[in-house]
Structure formats: C-alpha cells, structure tokens
C-alpha cells in the first residue's frame, strides 16, 4: 500500500481568497493512505499539503469569513485515506465539507474545533514545578487532554477543549503571581514492612503526614491484624492507608476527614 508522509509547522504560504487546487504531478498515482502532522498552521496550509500529497481536488469557499485562515492547533493523521484525512482536518478547523461532482467543497460550519493546542506562557514558575503541582493534586481541569512542559520559553503546551483551557488559564492565573509560592505538595510515602500489625504499620505511615485514624472494636481486633509483607512506593497518604488495609484484609472508609478502620458493629 502506498502511503504519503508530510509534516508542516507554521509557515508562510500565501493563500488566495478562495483556494482551488488542481492535482499536482498528475502522472503519479495518488496514495491510498496518508500520514500527516500539523501544528499551528492555517486550514489553507493544511489543505495545500494534503492536496499536494494526494491530488485530492478541494475548494475552500469564502462565505462571510476567510475560513482558510482558521488556525489548526494540532492534528495528527495516521494511515487514513485522503478523504478521511480531509475530514479530520476540517473537524479541527470547525468547517464542513461536501463532495460535489468529484470535488470536495469546504464551507464554514457550526461545529467548533474539538481540541485546540495552545501555548501558555509562565512568568514566575518553571513549567516542571506547575506540572508537578497539577499532577500531585489532580488539579487538571476537565476538558484538558494533555499538558507538556516546554522549558525553552518557560511555557506549557496544552491540548483541550475551549472550556477546559479557560479553566486551566484561571487556575494558572491564581498560581503564577509575583512572589507567589505553590501550596506544599502532599508527602509521598515509601515503605517496606514485614510481619507487622496493622496498627504499627499505620503509625509508621503517619509519621510526618497529616491524618487521623479511628480503629473500630471488633473480633478479631483490627489493630492486631498482621501484615506479612507490604511495599509502598511513592504513594499519597490515602493510597498508602488503603493499601495497608487491603494487605491486612480489613475494610477502611473515610468519614469526616478521618480513616475509619474495621467493621461497624451490627445494631
């Protein structure tokens, strides 16, 4: 199977007010599948690359807006037919396309781009610091598909929906201030325990951590349940306590900020 490959970064291609591209190199057979990647390009630029690689006949129509100038944040196409590749590009730009008499016509659509790739500049924190904070506290807003630290210009590359990006910008604005300090990260726990009681294991886990534990009375006593072996690696306090209770075969629940360990007596 013949495959065309293309990769385009934001460039300086000049596009007319309406784009109608005939098949280039008409003597060569068009590929059956394409691999394309675009970052920060206009719709016109992406379509030109696709047309050049596949000979796909495409017309971009101007109906009140130069949709060819719409920016595509990030698109990756792998092993798709030319028509499927065009559909993915159009979805990223929020436009519609229709096949008429063998030609694909692109027009403004009501759909908005599903995901957008943006660069968010940081001023007072290194991107790795923000990444650690967001990951440790699970503070990444809904609608954010991915975040990448970009230390070259102290920024974050973020892919997400408009709503998710807006929520992330608000969060970063509240953090990235002059003289600001990120809230302390919750401690990570690393322990290896052998042949200990659950009570002793909990005490070791709580050293240096903020947490309250309540043992319920019962038979057998949950405090004295033994753990033959347990290894805790880079876990939060919540994760560690739950792992210890699983190892001891004792239920645990969190109530009013405290960990309640054991089986509640029947009334």
CATH number at residue 129: 3.30.1370.120
Whether residues 201 and 249 share a domain: the answer is yes
Instruction: Say if 184 falls within a structural domain.
Output: no
If one counts the domains in the chain, the total is 3
Whether residues 97 and 152 share a domain: the answer is no
H-only helix segments in the chain: 43-54, 82-93, 127-136, 162-175, 198-206, 237-248
Pick the closest to residue 155 from 127, 176, 124 (CA basis).
127
Give the end of a domain, one of 89, 108, 127. 108
Rounded CA gap, 136 and 117, in Å? 23
Range of the domain at 76: 3-108
CATH number at residue 39: 3.55.50.10
Report how far apart, in Å, the C-alpha atoms of 118 and of each of 42, 63, 107, 138, 145 are: 14, 27, 24, 21, 12
Whether residues 18 and 70 share a domain: the answer is yes
- Could you report the per-residue pLDDT of 173-212, keeping only the tens digit for each? 988 988 877 766 667 789 999 999 999 999 888 876 666 7
What secondary structure does DSSP assign to 49-89, as a single string? HHHHHH---EEE--SSS-GGG-EEEEEEEEEE-HHHHHHHH
| Band (138; pLDDT cuts 50, 70, 90) | low
Burial state string for 164-173 with b = 16 or more CB within 10 A and e = fewer than 16: bbebbeebbe
**What average pLDDT does the structure give for the chain?**
78
- pLDDT over 70 for what percent of the chain? 78
- The number of C-alpha atoms within 13 Å of 96 and in the hemisphere containing its C-beta is 8
Whether residues 127 and 205 share a domain: the answer is no
Mean pLDDT for the stretch of residues 52-68: 84
Pick the closest to residue 56 from 129, 14, 6 (CA basis).
6
- What is the pLDDT, as a whole number, of residue 17? 28
Identify the residue with better confidence: 212 or 50.
50
């Amino acid at each position: 199977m013949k495959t065309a490959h293309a990769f385009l970064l934001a460039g300086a291609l000049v596009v007319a007010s309406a784009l109608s591209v005939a098949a280039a190199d008409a003597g060569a057979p068009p590929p059956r599948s394409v691999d394309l990647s675009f970052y920060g390009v206009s719709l016109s630029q992406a379509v030109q690359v696709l047309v050049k690689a596949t000979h796909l006949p495409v017309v971009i129509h101007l109906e009140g807006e130069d949709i060819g100038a719409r920016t595509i944040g990030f698109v990756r196409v792998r092993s798709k037919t030319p028509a499927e590749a065009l559909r993915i590009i159009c979805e990223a730009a929020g436009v519609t396309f229709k096949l008429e008499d063998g030609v694909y016509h692109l027009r403004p659509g009501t759909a908005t781009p599903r995901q957008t790739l943006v660069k968010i500049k940081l001023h007072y924190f290194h991107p790795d610091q923000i990444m650690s904070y967001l990951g440790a506290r699970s503070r990444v807003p809904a609608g954010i598909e991915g975040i990448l630290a970009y230390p070259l210009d102290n920024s974050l590359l973020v892919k997400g929906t408009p709503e998710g990006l807006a929520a992330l910008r608000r969060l970063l604005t509240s953090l990235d201030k002059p003289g600001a300090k990120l809230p302390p990260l919750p401690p990570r726990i690393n322990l290896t325990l052998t042949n200990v009681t659950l009570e002793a294991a909990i005490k070791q886990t709580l050293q240096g951590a903020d947490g309250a534990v309540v043992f319920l009375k019962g038979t057998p006593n949950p405090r004295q349940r033994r753990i033959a072996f347990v290894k805790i690696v880079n876990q939060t306090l919540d994760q560690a306590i739950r792992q210890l209770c699983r190892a001891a075969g004792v239920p645990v629940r969190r109530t009013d900020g405290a960990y309640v360990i054991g089986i509640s007596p029947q009334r």
